[in-house]
Every structure is written in C-alpha cells, then in structure tokens.
Structure 1
C-alpha cells in the first residue's frame, strides 16, 4: 500500500504489481465464506505478474491482514 492504495502484492506464489487505478469497494454485498458482510471494505484492481499475466482481483481487509476474495482472468 502507498497512501492507503494498493500497489503490489504476493499471491499464489507470485509477485503482482497493480497496473490500473484501483477501485475502492465499500459497504459491498460480498461476504467472507460462511459469514454475512460485516462492513468489509476492500479494493478491485488489475495486477500483472513478472511473466506479464494480468488478472483482476477483489481483495478485502480482515482483522490482521488482506485476503483475495476473488480473481478474474
């Protein structure tokens, strides 16, 4: 995170760099598995790995760290 905006992450054994303007997700309707939405907030962004593969990620903030909720190819 830079200025509270995602810029890079490590996911599925690869390093990813955010390659678009992230969209903040607030008061969303998505929830964690087995739990209702509890005011989760997160981001949606495109990221590219070192091999040039790009994916779109929805990530949310849990109590202690960040989680990938969904990724789109």
Structure 2
C-alpha cells in the first residue's frame, strides 16, 4: 500500500492494485483504539477515511503507520 499526503492528511493511495482518492474529511485515529501486538514498542496512529476508485466504488479505510510504512488495518463497504 502506498499513501500520499497533502499537508499531512491522506489524499490518495494505491491499495490492492487500485488507485483510491480520499473523498471525505479524514479522521485521525490514535493508538488507544488499535490492538497493538506486544512486540511493537511504538504506539500506532492512523486515519479513517472514505476512498473512491476510478470506477466510482467507495470503501472506508482504517490505515496505520508503522516503522516500515503505511498499512490497511480494515476496510468497510
């Protein structure tokens, strides 16, 4: 997954071979709602936002940052 930010806020991404545009106002997610594996010493943070692909399909994404980049934690249709 690749995530592009504008002014430190998600704007677009590539996930599962598709391009997604952020089509709502992203909500910042703090580490308190994530289930953090014990081996991860870094608090997690991320975003929840709606993404829309080129075909017009939309999903809500929960994404989080870790030491090796951004990851999709969950999607909602």
TM-score exceeds 0.5:
yes
Instruction: Report the number of matched residues.
Output: 71
Q: Unpaired runs of 5+ in structure 2?
A: none
Once residues 67 and 31 of structure 2 are traced to their aligned partners in structure 1, the CA distance between those partners, rounded to angstroms, is 16
Q: Unpaired runs of 5+ in structure 1?
A: none
User: Aligned-pair distance for 1:31?
Assistant: 2.5
Aligned to 1:56: 60
Q: Determine which structure has the larger strand proportion and give its number.
A: 2
User: Aligned-pair distance for 1:28?
Assistant: 2.6
Aligned to 2:45: 41
TM-score for both structures, normalised by structure 1: 0.89
